[in-house]
Amino acid sequence: MPIVFVHGVATRRDPGYAKSEAARAALMRGFLVPATGQVPFFAPYWGGQAAAFAWEHASLPQGDEEVFGPGEETPAILLGEVWESEPPPDDRVVLQVARNSFADGIDLLFGTAAEDVDPEEADGFARLAVRAAKLTRPAWLDTARDDVEVINRLAEDLSESADEEEAFGPDRALLHVYEGLSRIRGAAGRMTGRLAVKALRPSLNRSASMFLGDILVYLRQRERLRADGPIATTIATDLRRACEACTADDPQVIVIAHSMGGNIVYDLLSGLRPDLSCDVLVTVGSQVGVFAELGLFDAVRAPANPATDRIPKPPGVDRWINVFDLNDILGFATERIFDGVRDFRYSTGKGAFAAHSTYFIRPSFYDRLATRLREAS
């Protein structure tokens, strides 16, 4: 049972590559091969023929770029300046900011409201903001229950501080402060994700650029060179070697392809190299279904009736299993597009950021795969 593992995008021979490759191969052999068996194992490395970045990732944002403009981001920008941990509940955002710093609370309220002030209202709004900035931290701030109470109590304090000719009354400027509260709440909700992304941004940016780059490089190679492209040739060579390693006693070839690796293997078996074959194709966290819907495979034609029309699986594939985690935003289903493929859900136990790269480090994945392979035999 020769086994071929085809990796996905953003895989490079960095210091951790050899360790992860050895662990993956050991787990595959341990779970998928009979205890007394020794089978050939192939792991074509195609990352070296994929995306290379001419300016060494100079396109990655550094975080010190000039802000394009405030607009809808004003509350988030202000919150980002004054809130260094997870934001509070959205009905107590201003309250918590003001308790940390009353001046920051005033800035948040009036900085947000300023975006909605018409030119003819600007002078009145400015006078109100000046009075607010001069207020000292009020005692009621320690007992206030929510943001609405903060604004109500602030309105009372501003009314008391007004000169006689600036009697507070139904001031349009204050209405803008109330209206801005909904924008502050919405921005605070986004801040949770913003803070998480800020910490992860460099690695996420790099991974995203590698992901997109590897896909685009493969597609460009296929456009220019078809089956003779470097990536296609690297994988096809090991698929052929695996077929040649079969014996009468051990005739089955198992191909396990992760992510973009599944798209490339399907591309080879369905059109670029129809002379190649495998007994079981296992696509994991792959986008074969999406690529098919987008018309990126030669063997796939748009359906006349999407509800019923299906694409036959490649003639050289006897059995096709497709596995994805519902949390994996890069893993897609195939059954409603292809005939002869079966979808399976598997939980890596990880969230959206980590699920895609976690399948092959979990023993339970191989244990369940072994069960499905026995069903296929």
What's the CA angle centered on 132, arms 131 and 134, to 5 degrees?
65
Q: State yes or no: pLDDT of 80 exceeds 60.
A: no
The whole-model pTM stands at 0.68
In this structure, which long-range contacts are made by residues 371-376, counting pairs with CB atoms below 8 Å and at least 24 apart in sequence?
Answer: 372/321, 372/344, 373/32, 373/254, 373/280, 376/279, 376/280, 376/319, 376/321
Q: How far is 266 from 310, CA to CA, in rounded Å?
A: 15
Residue 168's pLDDT is: 38
Residue located via tokens 């191989």? 366
Q: Which of 200, 215, 236 is the last residue of a domain?
A: 200
Per residue in 293-323, pLDDT tens? 999 999 999 999 999 999 999 999 999 999 9
328 vs 107, higher pLDDT: 328
- Identify whether residues 302 and 368 lie together within a single domain: yes
Has residue 64 been placed in a domain?
no
- Identify whether residues 343 and 277 lie together within a single domain: yes
Which run of H or of E encompasses 263? helix 260-267
260 closest CA partner among 282, 222, 223, 286: 286
Has residue 217 been placed in a domain?
no
Q: State yes or no: pLDDT of 13 exceeds 70.
A: yes
87 vs 41, higher pLDDT: 41
In 10 A of CB 9, how many CB atoms?
Answer: 24
Q: What would the DSSP string read from start to end of 145-188? A: -SHHHHHHHHHHHHHHHS-GGG--SS-HHHHHHHHHHHHHHHHH
Average pLDDT, the chain: 83
- Identify whether residues 79 and 35 lie together within a single domain: no
Q: pLDDT confidence of 71, banded at 50, 70, 90?
A: very low
- Identify whether residues 259 and 314 lie together within a single domain: yes
Q: pLDDT confidence of 195, banded at 50, 70, 90?
A: very low
- Identify whether residues 349 and 255 lie together within a single domain: yes
Q: Which of 200, 226, 254 is the last residue of a domain?
A: 200
Is residue 318 classed as helix, strand or coil in its secondary structure? strand
240 closest CA partner among 97, 98, 40: 40
- Identify whether residues 104 and 9 lie together within a single domain: no
214 closest CA partner among 13, 49, 17, 16: 49
Q: How far is 107 from 27, CA to CA, in rounded Å?
A: 57
Q: pLDDT confidence of 81, banded at 50, 70, 90?
A: very low
Total domains present in the chain: 2
On whether the CB atoms of residues 278 and 316 are closer than 8 A, the answer is yes
Has residue 266 been placed in a domain?
yes
The winner for highest mean pLDDT among 129-133, 150-154, 157-161 is 150-154
- Identify whether residues 33 and 77 lie together within a single domain: no
**CATH, residue 316:** 3.40.50.1820
- Identify whether residues 328 and 251 lie together within a single domain: yes
- Identify whether residues 76 and 36 lie together within a single domain: no
- Identify whether residues 18 and 121 lie together within a single domain: no
Per residue in 14-68, pLDDT tens? 877 887 888 888 888 888 886 545 788 999 999 999 988 888 777 766 666 555 5
Has residue 312 been placed in a domain?
yes
Has residue 212 been placed in a domain?
no
Has residue 239 been placed in a domain?
no
- Identify whether residues 270 and 361 lie together within a single domain: yes
Residue located via tokens 């701030």? 141
Q: Which of 173, 200, 227 is the last residue of a domain?
A: 200
154 closest CA partner among 118, 123, 113: 113
Has residue 304 been placed in a domain?
yes
Structural domain that includes position 100: 71-200
Which run of H or of E encompasses 211? helix 172-225
- Identify whether residues 258 and 367 lie together within a single domain: yes
Has residue 210 been placed in a domain?
no
